[in-house]
């Protein structure tokens, strides 16, 4: 069977339920702030974490809990990051215990996460009071509620699921994500929770996740800030009944393709929802010496504040793209570089062989007026390629972050 997109998010796969609830961490009573995801049976599990030296306490506890490659539930709050607190580990472990007791699993089989303001103590009281209603609300239709509960400055929900086949069995993988600011990863990014009913060993699951993020979540940048709480986790409970994936091969490649489809969708959703953003930017680099070179160039362009500002202003200032390529540190022959801007409004080539060429400013303005813009870069040095995602830099980004705590 061909892979296809299905509904259900993190509950699309067999044996998963989820819920979201307002327990009182956030002042806005209309906003859910506590999420729960549960697998009916213990699942293979893996996660990747931020490389920021300042890490939220939940990441430390989750890493401890996943040391055996098994998990069965996820508990996550928004509104407070539980980071840089002297009792952070205590609170994170207490969240695991509360969740475990509420749904009848082991505390060490709980993935815990927090997102929100850094440096403010997280009170366990509202979480303890809300865990009962949260567990009672668990539903196979609960993905949207859980997705809402993990959002902070996000303006829309980010969820997807796909269906595919392994060894003759229909499998599904789905996910929810949050992320709008402090998005500039180097191992993982934001908060992403993935679930699948495919049977796959913890070792191969970790291999799949660690490998895929190099081309997905590690290729996003909204603002150049690496968060303290970024994590991507996945649970695979095996209820699809496929022959377990325990080694590289055709089934593993199929699983990787499905995982990549979900992750690319979430990457684009996160980049498009960057704080204050009006445009999704996708930078595709081809003709690089190798993949690493292409990744370096693509990320440098996506991270360029001047390029991002030019895209906001709908200004085809291609010199800013070349500038970002030049300071990227990648081995590039600038005299071979070509740049094209493309969107639903058309396509306009603005640079060839490292130099500007005549182009229609009217067409360029039409191309850059769209909400999704492709920045296509050719390097002419080899066969390496890579894609990175980002967004424009707007006045609203400064406003949101200037008033974040207030």
Q: What is the layout of strands, in order, in the sheet containing 346-352?
A: 355-356, 346-352, 338-343, 372-378, 280-288, 384-391
189 is catalytic: yes
Domains of the chain: 4-272 (3.60.70.12), 280-402 (3.10.20.340)
- Among 22-36, 269-283, 360-374, which stretch is predicted with the lowest mean pLDDT? 269-283
- Among 145-149, 244-248, 268-272, 320-324, which stretch is predicted with the lowest mean pLDDT? 268-272
Q: What pTM, to 2 d.p., does this model score?
A: 0.86
Dmax over CA atoms of the chain, in Å, equals 67
**Tell me: the pLDDT tens digits for 317-376?**
999 999 999 999 999 999 999 999 999 999 999 999 999 999 999 999 999 999 999 999
Higher pLDDT, 117 or 167: 167
Q: Please say if the pLDDT value at position 84 is more than 90.
A: no
Look at residue 29 and give its three-state secondary structure: coil
Average of per-residue pLDDT across 241-251: 97
Which one of 189, 216, 307, 387 is the catalytic residue?
Answer: 189
DSSP 152: S
pLDDT at 406: 52
Q: In terms of Cα–Cα distance, which of 103, 42, 100 is closest to 70?
A: 42
Cα 194 to Cα 132, 233, 252, 281, 337: the distances in Å are 24, 6, 17, 24, 38
Q: Please say if the pLDDT value at position 116 is more than 90.
A: no
- Among 12-21, 225-234, 380-389, which stretch is predicted with the lowest mean pLDDT? 225-234
pLDDT at 154: 82
């Amino acid at each position: 069977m061909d892979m296809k997109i299905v509904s259900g998010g993190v509950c699309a796969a067999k044996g998963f339920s989820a819920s979201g609830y307002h327990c009182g961490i956030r002042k806005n009573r209309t906003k859910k702030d506590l999420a729960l995801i549960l697998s009916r049976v213990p699942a293979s599990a893996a996660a990747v974490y931020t490389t920021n030296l300042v890490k939220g306490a939940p990441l430390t506890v989750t890493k401890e809990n996943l040391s055996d490659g098994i998990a069965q539930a996820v508990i996550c709050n928004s509104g407070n990051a539980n980071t840089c607190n002297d009792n952070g580990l205590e609170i994170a472990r207490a969240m695991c215990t509360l969740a475990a007791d509420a749904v009848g699993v082991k505390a060490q089989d709980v993935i815990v996460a927090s997102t929100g303001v850094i440096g403010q103590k997280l009170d366990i009281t509202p979480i303890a009071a809300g865990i009962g209603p949260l567990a009672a609300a668990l539903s196979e239709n609960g993905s949207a509620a859980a997705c809402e509960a993990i959002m902070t400055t996000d303006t829309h929900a980010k969820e997807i699921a796909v269906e595919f086949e392994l060894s003759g069995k229909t499998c599904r993988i789905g996910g929810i994500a949050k992320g709008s600011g402090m998005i500039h990863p180097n191992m993982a990014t934001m908060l992403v929770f993935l679930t699948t009913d495919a049977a796959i060993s913890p070792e191969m699951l970790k291999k799949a996740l660690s490998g895929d993020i190099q081309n997905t979540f590690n290729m996003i940048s909204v603002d150049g800030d690496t968060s303290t709480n970024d994590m991507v986790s996945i649970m695979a409970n095996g209820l699809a009944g496929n022959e377990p994936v325990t080694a590289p091969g055709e089934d593993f490649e199929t699983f990787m393709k499905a995982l990549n489809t979900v992750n690319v969708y979430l990457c684009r959703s996160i980049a498009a929802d960057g704080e204050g953003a009006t445009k999704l930017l996708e930078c595709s680099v081809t003709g690089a010496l190798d993949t690493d070179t292409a990744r370096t160039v693509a990320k440098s362009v996506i991270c360029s504040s001047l390029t991002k500002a030019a895209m906001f202003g709908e200004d085809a200032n291609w010199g800013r793209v070349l500038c970002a390529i030049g300071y990227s540190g990648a081995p590039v022959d600038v005299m071979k570089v070509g740049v094209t801007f493309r969107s639903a409004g058309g396509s306009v080539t603005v640079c060839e062989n490292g130099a500007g060429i005549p182009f229609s400013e009217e067409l360029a303005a039409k191309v850059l007026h769209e909400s999704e813009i492709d920045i296509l870069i050719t390097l002419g040095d080899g066969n390496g390629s890579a894609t990175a995602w980002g967004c424009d830099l707007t006045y609203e980004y400064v406003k949101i972050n200037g008033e974040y705590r207030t």
